[in-house]
């Protein structure tokens, strides 16, 4: 297939790229049935843009609708600029998106005011808009110079490139590799690397442009160009022009030789045209109207554009100046004296209408501290943050800090830069800003924000948190009654870190003492005391006040999240479940999926304790997906550890091992205690199912890194120890759990303790005591709202009774265990109970779950089916689960045959048969 591209206003054949054209045209044809995304990589001038342009034409000729955006070497400071360029033709279709996604995209583009849009919502909205357009005709999405696209847009491109699925969308992007082959930025897209042309193709191009060159010069061009198509076209011009006096230095990379060639052409221009070209080069992505308006302040006019167009150096495309090649722009900027470049930025700052762009041009024209310019940049940072362009916001705050005249203002702006960088996932940049600001911060609000940011980084990324001495110094700097609440906030963050990382108990006691010394009614204070209370030791007034704080913290989702953790530590599982659920709702309302993932993970954990395994698994997998999409590896690891627990309870060994492996890969450097404990718990459950009791005991023993998890797993540890012949190793743990159950008045914990006591008594042959503790475990468990743990007790009790040759007494316990395991899809335990029941003389009768009413569904399909059964539309579900509405429709389409139904109206009955609708 022969394709052409446009260069310098003329058509040229695409030479030497037959193999790449064949690959891409084949992929393009396949994209009609399933999406594809490819990244073209290669050095400057290697032909990426030519191939992209040729493929755009071919796509248009074969029925694709083409959307395009282009990066600029100095990316737009406003964020999402290239995404707006890409989606501009589709913006009239915004109304087809779910409400939250539509609002996020409109706010990001400055088309409407609304809550700060999260990047994930903007990405999903973009995907939904592309899917909607592709339902009418296939789409070809062209992204030129991805390495220069603004960072916010680049994140969206990476996101959609991995999720095109079955949509007829073809995404083709180009990215430059540096000299030596290094790629400027990592991208998850499939790569197609453009190599230098072979000798035949190189000679074919040279033949087109070699008029006036002798044979020696042709040989030199071939050698110097080294298969680079742009060099083959431009170097002959340099050899024919004035630059030949100095020669082409072959010791430098091709890129630099091309820049030398372009500068030779630049030097032949009239001075006024050179000035206009310099101005256009400094203008980044501004339109030609803006460039000419700024040019008038320098005495330039539109007539100075003609020599540039005649030389083929610049042309106007879509009302913007378009350089013949990005290297020409780079060469012009690199050769412009500082004073002239400063002047260009200054006139642009005076004429540009966009305040953010004007602020950045002011900053580029400033070489000294200037509070006025710093203030303009700070305002630009605030506006970018409100539009969800966090990377650009952080950059503005950081540059504003550099230009600040006072140390106080510098610290304030660095603190904001750190906070926004953390939210954007720029952990290293956030820590750098924190460390710089901590040295000079004096304002209490700034000191507090820095402390909260550092602790947030410690919990979500593993970067270094405050040392005890740092906390002491921070508290000392926040003296006086007017800063009491700020001291509480700092200690609350420190308490969350101390518990999350299981820091030494001395640090817990230090934080507890400091919190008690503060006279305040701040609701965070009792949360600190609950979080830092030694195992099984807490005052009654602290325990009593936690449920009362739910209403007080209703509009503080972060506070609600910490209240959930505090309630867990005091074994108040009902309050914990309420808090996790409310935190999830509030984060969802505030468009904060990164935090919502943590709340969902917490709720999933409590659901697992209550035996609602499939629901817990759906929440945990959803949370893991959100954590991955919002670039939170440690949080993703926590979610995967919860997924592992759920899969282990279901008896799926492969899925459990996979989740544990992925959790450990994500958390191997800075593991959180909670994630480590949950992963150990899952591995221990799996080892028990395989009768590897010593291995299981080792896993459960390592759970002590998280005291609360270790309490919840006490019965598992006791069972593993007894079966491994090491009952002596767990007696102290059971005693400790018993004390905690009494102090916290926890029926759930008490039932686990009695089960543990029964197993220990059996190992010693004390039959009367064994039966007594099993009976008490069952009786106590009735108040614990955990049918799964109750079924575990019934199974062990029934097995013991059958071994004692009391089959008639064993059968009711085994039957109850079997039906409970069957109902919650715990297949291995259900099979074990069924085998015991048959051995006791009764044939098990499977219920609805075992008959396949729900078990064929994936966790995500179950989640969507439950929401649909409650009457939510596809768009409402899409907003709820962070998917495009067409993806929701696809999931439901797959769900119906799995459930044996034909319509949405039958969902509720099908799910009720599986006991998964409440």
Handedness of CA 233, 239, 242, 248 (dihedral sign): positive
Q: Is 115 found in the same domain as 82?
A: yes
| Domain limit, last residue, from 193, 213, 236 | 193
Please give the distance of CA 742 from its chain centroid, rounded to a whole number: 42
Domain of 106, CATH number, reads: 3.40.50.300
Q: Is 211 found in the same domain as 176?
A: no
Q: Is 171 found in the same domain as 208?
A: no
Domain assignment present for 839: no
pLDDT attached to residue 234: 79
Question: With contact defined as beta carbons under 8 Å apart, do 400 and 381 qualify?
Answer: yes
Domain of 670, CATH number, reads: 1.25.40.10
pLDDT attached to residue 592: 87
Q: Is 755 found in the same domain as 633?
A: yes
pLDDT attached to residue 72: 79
Domain assignment present for 410: no
Domain assignment present for 816: yes
pLDDT attached to residue 248: 44
Q: Is 206 found in the same domain as 176?
A: no
How many residues are present in the chain?
918
Domain assignment present for 449: yes
Q: Is 144 found in the same domain as 42?
A: yes
DSSP labels for 706-751? SHHHHHHTHHHHHHHHHHTT-GGGTHHHHHHHHHHHHHHT-HHHHH
pLDDT attached to residue 855: 55
Please give the distance of CA 533 from its chain centroid, rounded to a whole number: 33
Domain of 890, CATH number, reads: 1.10.10.10
pLDDT attached to residue 874: 93
Domain assignment present for 370: no
Burial class (CB in 10 A: 0-12, 13-18, 19+), 442: exposed
pLDDT attached to residue 463: 64
Q: Is 53 helix (H, G, I), strand (E, B) or coil?
A: helix
| Buried residues in 704-720 as b, exposed as e (16+ CB within 10 A) | bbbbbbbbbbbbbbbbb
Q: Other C-beta atoms within 10 Å of 730: how many?
A: 24
How big is the CA angle at 716 (ends 851 and 584), to the nearest 5 degrees? 70
Residue whose tokens read 């033709």: 89
Q: Is 448 found in the same domain as 512?
A: yes
Domain count, the chain: 6
Q: Is 502 found in the same domain as 472?
A: yes
Domain of 510, CATH number, reads: 1.25.40
Q: Is 546 found in the same domain as 682?
A: no
| Domain limit, last residue, from 159, 176, 193 | 193
| Domain limit, last residue, from 343, 364, 385 | 364
Task: Supply the pTM of this predicted model.
Answer: 0.84
Domain assignment present for 575: yes
Residue whose tokens read 């030129």: 144
Q: Is 753 found in the same domain as 876?
A: no
Q: Other C-beta atoms within 10 Å of 218: how many?
A: 16
Residues of the chain with pLDDT under 50: 179-184, 242-252, 848-854
Residues of the chain by 3-state class (helix, strand, coil), percent to 5: 70, 5, 25
Long-range residue pairs from 274-277, CB within 8 A, at least 24 positions apart, any chain: 275/300, 275/304, 275/340, 276/300, 276/304, 276/305, 276/308, 277/308, 277/313, 277/314, 277/332
End-to-end CA distance of the chain: 60
Alpha helices in 517-556 (DSSP H): 524-532, 540-545, 549-552
Residue whose tokens read 């009976």: 775
Closest CA relative to residue 675, chosen from 733, 624, 614: 624
Domain assignment present for 251: yes
Q: Is 777 found in the same domain as 895?
A: no
> What is the extent of the structural domain holding 507?
419-585
Q: Is 789 found in the same domain as 739?
A: yes
β strands within 663-754, DSSP E: none
Question: With contact defined as beta carbons under 8 Å apart, do 32 and 138 qualify?
Answer: yes
Burial class (CB in 10 A: 0-12, 13-18, 19+), 542: middle
178 dihedral zone (left: phi>0; alpha: psi -120 to 50; beta): beta
Query: 631-666 pLDDT, tens per residue?
Result: 888 889 999 999 999 999 999 999 999 999 999 998
Domain assignment present for 592: no
Closest CA relative to residue 571, chosen from 786, 393, 410: 786
pLDDT attached to residue 375: 97
Spatial distance between the Cα atoms of 753 and 763, rounded to a whole number of angstroms: 15
Residue whose tokens read 């999926």: 593
pLDDT attached to residue 245: 38
| Buried residues in 64-82 as b, exposed as e (16+ CB within 10 A) | bbebbbbbbbbbbbbbbbb
């Amino acid at each position: 297939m022969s394709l052409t591209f446009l260069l310098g206003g003329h058509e040229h054949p695409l030479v030497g790229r037959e193999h790449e054209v064949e690959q891409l045209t084949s992929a393009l044809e396949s994209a009609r049935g399933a999406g594809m995304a490819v990244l073209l990589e290669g050095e400057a001038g290697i032909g990426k843009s030519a191939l992209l342009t040729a493929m755009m034409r071919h796509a248009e000729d074969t029925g694709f609708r083409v959307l395009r955006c282009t990066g600029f070497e100095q990316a737009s400071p406003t964020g999402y600029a290239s995404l707006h360029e890409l989606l501009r033709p589709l913006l009239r279709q915004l109304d087809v998106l779910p409400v939250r996604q539509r609002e996020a995209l409109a706010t990001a583009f400055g088309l409407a005011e609304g809550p700060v849009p999260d990047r994930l919502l903007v990405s999903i909205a973009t995907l939904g808009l592309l899917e909607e357009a592709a339902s009418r005709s296939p789409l070809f999405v062209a992204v030129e110079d991805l390495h220069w696209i603004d960072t916010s847009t680049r994140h969206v491109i990476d996101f959609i490139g991995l999720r095109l699925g079955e949509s007829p969308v073809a995404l083709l992007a180009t990215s430059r590799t540096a000299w030596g082959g290094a790629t400027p930025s990592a991208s998850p897209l499939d790569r197609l690397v453009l190599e230098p042309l072979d000798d035949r193709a190189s000679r074919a191009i040279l033949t087109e442009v070699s008029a006036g060159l002798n044979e020696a010069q042709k040989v030199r061009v071939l050698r110097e160009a080294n298969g680079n198509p742009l060099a083959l076209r431009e170097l002959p011009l340099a050899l024919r022009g004035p630059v030949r006096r100095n020669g082409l230095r072959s010791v430098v990379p091709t890129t630099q030789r091309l820049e030398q060639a372009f500068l030779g052409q630049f030097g032949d221009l009239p001075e006024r045209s050179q000035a206009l070209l310099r101005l256009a080069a400094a203008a980044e992505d501004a339109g030609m109207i803006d460039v000419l308006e700024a040019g008038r302040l320098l005495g330039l006019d539109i007539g100075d554009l003609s020599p540039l167009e005649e030389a083929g150096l610049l042309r106007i495309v879509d009302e913007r100046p378009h350089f013949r090649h990005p290297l020409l722009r780079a060469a012009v900027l690199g050769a412009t004296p500082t004073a002239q470049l400063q002047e260009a930025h200054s006139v642009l700052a005076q004429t540009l209408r966009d305040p953010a762009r004007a602020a950045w041009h002011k900053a580029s024209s400033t070489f000294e501290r200037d509070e006025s310019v710093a203030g303009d940049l700070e305002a630009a940072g605030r506006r970018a943050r409100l539009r969800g362009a966090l990377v650009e916001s952080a950059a503005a705050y950081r540059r504003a800090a550099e230009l600040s005249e006072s140390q106080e203002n510098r610290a304030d702006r660095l603190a904001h830069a750190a906070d926004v960088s953390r939210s954007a996932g720029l952990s290293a940049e956030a820590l750098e800003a924190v460390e710089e600001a901590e040295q000079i911060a004096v304002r209490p609000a700034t000191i507090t924000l820095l402390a909260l940011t550092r602790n947030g980084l410690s919990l979500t990324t593993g970067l270094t948190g405050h040392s005890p001495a740092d906390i002491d110094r921070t508290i000392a700097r926040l003296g006086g009654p007017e800063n009491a609440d700020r001291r509480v906030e700092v200690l609350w963050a420190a308490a969350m870190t101390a518990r999350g990382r299981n820091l030494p108990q001395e640090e817990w006691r230090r934080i507890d003492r400091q919190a008690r010394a503060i006279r305040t009614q701040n609701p965070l204070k009792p949360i600190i005391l609950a979080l830092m209370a030694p195992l099984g030791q807490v005052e009654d007034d602290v325990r009593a006040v936690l449920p009362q704080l739910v209403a007080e913290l209703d509009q503080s989702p972060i506070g609600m999240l910490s209240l959930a953790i505090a309630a867990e530590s005091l074994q108040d599982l009902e309050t914990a479940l309420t808090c996790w659920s409310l935190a999830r709702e509030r984060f969802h309302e505030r468009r904060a999926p990164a935090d919502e993932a943590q709340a969902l993970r917490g709720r999933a954990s409590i659901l697992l304790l209550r035996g609602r395994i499939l629901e817990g698994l759906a929440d945990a997998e959803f949370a893991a997906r959100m954590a991955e999409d919002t670039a939170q590896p440690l949080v993703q690891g926590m979610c995967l550890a919860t997924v592992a627990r759920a899969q282990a309870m279901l008896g799926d060994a492969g899925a459990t091992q996979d989740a544990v492996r992925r959790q450990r890969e994500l958390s191997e450097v800075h593991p959180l205690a909670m994630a480590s404990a949950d992963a150990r718990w899952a591995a221990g459950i799996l080892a028990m199912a395989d009768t590897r009791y010593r291995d299981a005991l080792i896993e459960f023993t390592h759970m002590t890194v998280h005291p609360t998890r270790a309490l919840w797993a006490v019965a598992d540890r006791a069972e593993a120890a007894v079966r491994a012949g090491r009952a002596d190793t767990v007696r102290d743990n059971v005693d400790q759990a018993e004390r905690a159950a009494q102090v916290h008045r926890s029926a759930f914990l008490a039932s686990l303790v009695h089960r543990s006591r029964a197993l220990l008594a059996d190992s010693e042959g004390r039959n009367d005591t064994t039966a007594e503790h099993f009976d008490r475990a069952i009786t106590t468990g009735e108040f614990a709202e955990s049918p799964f743990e109750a079924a575990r007790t019934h199974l062990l009790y029934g097995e013991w009774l059958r071994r004692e040759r009391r089959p008639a007494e064993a059968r009711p316990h085994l039957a109850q265990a079997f039906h409970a395991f069957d109902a919650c899809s715990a297949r291995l335990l259900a099979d074990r109970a069924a085998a015991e029941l048959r051995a006791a003389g009764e044939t098990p009768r499977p219920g609805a779950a075992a008959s396949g009413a729900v078990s064929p569904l994936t966790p995500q399909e179950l989640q969507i089916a439950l929401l649909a059964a409650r009457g939510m539309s596809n768009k409402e579900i899409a907003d709820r689960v962070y998917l495009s509405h067409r993806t929701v429709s696809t999931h439901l389409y797959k769900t119906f045959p799995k459930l044996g139904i034909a319509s949405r109206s039958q969902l509720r009955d099908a799910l009720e048969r599986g006991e998964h609708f409440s």
